[in-house]
Amino acid sequence: MKKKLKSGENIIEFTPGDKDINFSCWMGMIRGKIKVVDNLDSVESSSSSNSGSEVKRSIYGTDISKAKTELLVNKAVKANESQVAKFNGIGYEFQPLIAVTESNLKTKVTFVLSNFDEAESEFNILDGTTTEEVTSFDGKKGINEIELSPNKSGFYMIVKDDSILGIIQVVDNLDNADLEEIRKTYIK
């Protein structure tokens, strides 16, 4: 389920299944869980600060808008007629959040998941315009690689468990790509 929230009160009605429901903002930076139980009367009410579950800190700090662009957005490295883009999994996040690549070049995307919390999972690469799956891979601790051959500018989303972990931004000319402008497109 996707819902764009507006300033103020937002009400979303749904009927849960039998599993807890994870939710997050579109970039996965703000997360939470809706606990599904059979009987509400059996649940003790407590504040989230007393629940014993500690929220993990983001590698980008408490305000992502203050993180340096070079931590958030990186260019692929070109060599001959190909390029390599790299994401490092750290905790529950990717660094960078956005990898910029050039269209019409064979692209190897490397995911270093040695320090990623839940590496053993399915990762999907979705077309950012159509949300159709382009490819997927079963993650494992260590190095994971996929290949893409984007033939036009646009973007791809890297998705795991219905959360977007990162973006592959495809541009016509990598040498002229403005990382600050690309950052502003996704991170306000």
12 part of a folded domain: no
110 part of a folded domain: yes
Cα–Cα distance between 37 and 34 in angstroms, integer? 10
pLDDT of residue 8: 74
9 part of a folded domain: no
121 part of a folded domain: yes
Residues 98/167, Cβ–Cβ less than 8 Å: yes
Q: Is the pLDDT of residue 133 over 50?
A: yes
CATH number at residue 129: 2.60.40.420
pLDDT of residue 38: 82
Tell me the helix, strand and coil percentages in the chain, rounded to 5. 15, 40, 45
- According to DSSP, the residues that pair with 163 across neighbouring strands are 160
| Burial annotation 20-49 (CB, 10 A radius, 16+ → b, else e) | eeeebeebbbeeeeeeeeeeeeeeeeeeee
Q: pLDDT tens-digit profile of 9-59? A: 888 887 878 888 777 666 555 667 788 888 877 777 654 444 445 667 889
Token digits of residue 35: 């606990």
53 part of a folded domain: no
Residue 110: domain span:
64-186
End-to-end Cα spacing for the chain: 23
Q: Is pLDDT larger for residue 96 or for residue 5? A: 96
Token digits of residue 165: 């972990």
93 part of a folded domain: yes
Cα–Cα distance between 169 and 144 in angstroms, integer? 19
- In the chain, the number of structural domains is 1
Label residue 7 by pLDDT band (50, 70, 90): confident
101 part of a folded domain: yes
List the Cα angle 69/178/176 in 5-degree steps: 140
Token digits of residue 129: 């315009």
Nearest alpha-carbon partner for 156 in 138, 171, 170: 170
DSSP state letter for 44? P
26 part of a folded domain: no
